[in-house]
Amino acid sequence: MSDRLLPSRRVLLEALVLVFFAVAVGLSLNYALVLRAFSGRTVVVKSASLNQPAQQFPQPVDYEELDDLLATGSRFIDARDAHLYADSHLPGAISLPLGEVDQRLEAFSAQVPRETSLILYCNGFGCPDSFDLGVRLIAEGYRQVKVYEGGFPEWRDRGRQLETVEKR
């Protein structure tokens, strides 16, 4: 019986050596990318073609950073549906629903210069709309794009001020 277990232990050991080797090679080739990802900095994906610009993703921002960013001129952008924005939104937020970005982008670009620092939000941690909108805005030339992942629910639950659209 011990003769039968010996080959399986050897196979297991060889598999572990291969996995260790693969991880070591992968980390050594992507060392800078791994460090950037774990430090929370933006990850830039370089294009295979030198003629295409690199794609950049929006940076996450925590609740604790918001007041400092707003004090330096950052603007809230609400990626939620327009009716949710009308019911209640973060102070000074501009509505740009992800589902309507094609129709509203020209007016948004005329209102908000591309050098403006943007803080996008939606319905909290499970909502991908703010991140997807951020990717789109970066592709349109906005470079300072952040995503407040806690979004509307975290802001509201912390008792912060909210605004509504006056109904006529």
We report the CATH number of the domain holding residue 142 as 3.40.250.10
Amino acid present at 92: G
pLDDT in tens, the chain (168 residues): 455 555 688 888 888 899 898 888 887 887 776 666 666 555 555 444 445 555 588 999 999 999 999 999 999 999 999 999 999 999 999 999 999 999 999 999 999 999 999 999 999 988 999 999 999 999 999 999 999 999 999 999 999 999 998 765
The answer to whether position 76 is within a domain reads yes
- Residue 19 domain-assigned (yes or no): yes
Beta bridge partners of 94: 77
Count the Cβ atoms, other than its own, within 10 Å of residue 132: 17
Q: Containing domain of residue 141, as a range? A: 55-157
Residue 138: name the closest of 153, 154, 120 by CA: 120
Model's pTM, two decimal places? 0.68
Please state, in angstroms and rounded to a whole number, the distance separating the CA atoms of residues 139 and 136.
5
Q: How many domains does the chain have?
A: 2
In this structure, is residue 37 part of a structural domain?
Answer: yes
Q: What one-character DSSP code corresponds to residue 140?
A: T
